[in-house]
Structures are given as structure tokens and as C-alpha cells.
């Protein structure tokens, strides 16, 4: 009886040790799995960060290029507008200069036509036209 109790006790201790060993082995396996999962998650996170960094740089480069293109288009449009406005201003100035020249010439001619000398020149010219007209009629007959 004592012997059987000791043997039963030994068997229970051996079973408990065997169970503890199995539990320890299972815990070590689970720990190794968790460490592998943590390492895989860390690698995935690093990959996501690297991908996000690349995507961010590409997006930044695209936005910079778009901004440069828009800036260049605005600059070209502004240059065209400036040239157009300059050409309009020059045309307007020319028109005004011509109008002023004509007005000035009209005043000069108006003043000159009032002089006796100019009247005599015009009358002489008209007379010569009349004489030429009569000569042509005479030749034509």
C-alpha cells in the first residue's frame, strides 16, 4: 500500500512533469510564432512606410511639375496679353497721331488758303486746266 502510494505519487509527479514539459514546449512554440508574426508585421509596416514615402515623393513631384506647367502657361498668357495690349496702345497712338496731323494740316491749309498768293496759284491752276481741256477738245475734233 505504501509502495503503491509512492508509485502512484511518482507516476503523478512524472505525469505532472511531462505535462509541464509539454506546456513549456507549447508555450515556446507559441512564443516563437508570435515573435515571427511580430517580425512579419514589422517588415510589413516598414514596407508600407517605404511605399508611402515613394508615393508621397511621386505625388510631390507630380504637383511640382503641374505647378510649374501652370506657372509657365500663366506667364505665356500674360506675355501674350501684354503684347496685345501694347499693340492696341501703339495702334491707338498712331490713330491719334494721324488725327492730330490731319487736324494740324487742315488748320495750315485753311490758313494758307486765305492768302492772296495761294488764291492766285489755285486760280492759275484752274485756268490751266481749262486751257488744257479746250486744247484736248480741239485735238479731238
Per-residue pLDDT tens over the stretch 35-94: 999 999 999 999 999 999 999 999 999 999 999 999 999 999 999 999 999 999 999 988
Distance (Å) of CA 13 to CA 18, 19, 123, 125, 133? 8, 10, 154, 152, 155
Task: Supply the pLDDT for residue 57.
Answer: 96
pLDDT class for 5, splitting at 50, 70, 90? confident
Q: Taking a C-beta distance cutoff of 8 angstroms, is the pair 113, 119 a contact?
A: yes
User: How many domains does the chain contain in total?
Assistant: 1
Q: Taking a C-beta distance cutoff of 8 angstroms, is the pair 114, 108 a contact?
A: no
Q: Which residue segment(s) compose the domain that 65 sits in?
A: 2-140
Task: Supply the pLDDT for residue 139.
Answer: 67
Q: Is the Cα dihedral 38, 43, 46, 52 positive or negative?
A: negative
Amino acid at each position: 500500500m505504501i509502495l503503491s502510494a509512492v508509485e502512484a505519487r511518482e507516476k503523478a509527479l512524472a505525469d505532472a512533469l511531462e505535462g509541464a514539459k509539454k506546456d513549456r514546449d507549447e508555450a515556446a512554440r507559441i512564443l516563437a510564432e508570435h515573435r515571427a508574426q511580430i517580425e512579419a508585421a514589422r517588415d510589413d509596416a516598414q514596407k508600407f512606410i517605404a511605399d508611402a514615402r515613394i508615393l508621397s515623393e511621386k505625388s510631390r513631384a507630380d504637383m511640382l511639375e503641374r505647378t510649374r506647367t501652370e506657372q509657365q502657361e500663366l506667364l505665356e498668357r500674360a506675355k501674350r496679353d501684354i503684347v496685345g495690349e501694347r499693340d492696341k496702345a501703339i495702334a491707338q497712338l498712331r490713330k491719334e497721331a494721324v488725327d492730330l496731323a490731319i487736324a494740324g494740316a487742315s488748320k495750315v491749309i485753311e490758313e494758307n488758303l486765305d492768302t492772296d498768293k495761294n488764291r492766285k496759284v489755285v486760280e492759275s491752276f484752274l485756268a490751266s486746266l481749262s486751257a488744257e481741256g479746250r486744247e484736248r477738245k480741239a485735238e479731238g475734233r
